[in-house]
Structure 1
């Protein structure tokens, strides 16, 4: 695991410094990106940025589980989750 992390504020500052844009502009663009991702994935549309990443909604079937405290069998309903896949450029940057 990485021992360092970059939060949204630090990311906005870094992008603003490298592009010459104001932090408010960069923050608004990132907010728009996150809103578009949420809306698209929520409606079942796959979002793909070739070479960088793809984000899609996946379905999970209903299944039987077990309550870890009591050991009782429970029914877990069907649901959705999000799958994020790294593209080739992102994978290469991680090497």
Structure 2
């Protein structure tokens, strides 16, 4: 399956303040670009997260941290407590 270019748009619906959508779905009447960058899939087919400020991990609850850890494919995440998840995600360059 072919990978599609994506763009980060600002949203208040998610803790990190942004989400990725297909670049072809971007509508300047409806969307505001999060950081001014269009994101192309990298060579592995994984989408790149936008640079800049990440989510404030210390404000997330356990379920949100586990979801973020799942997105980052952190091994052992389901058995981690909140502090362990914070530490593992911080190692992935997320801000506390």
Give the TM-score normalised by structure 2: 0.19
Kindly name which structure, 1 or 2, has the bigger radius of gyration based on alpha carbons.
Answer: 1
Give the TM-score normalised by structure 1: 0.19
- Give the number of the structure with larger relative contact order, counting CA–CA contacts within 8 Å between residues 6 or more apart: 2
Structure with greater strand percent: 1
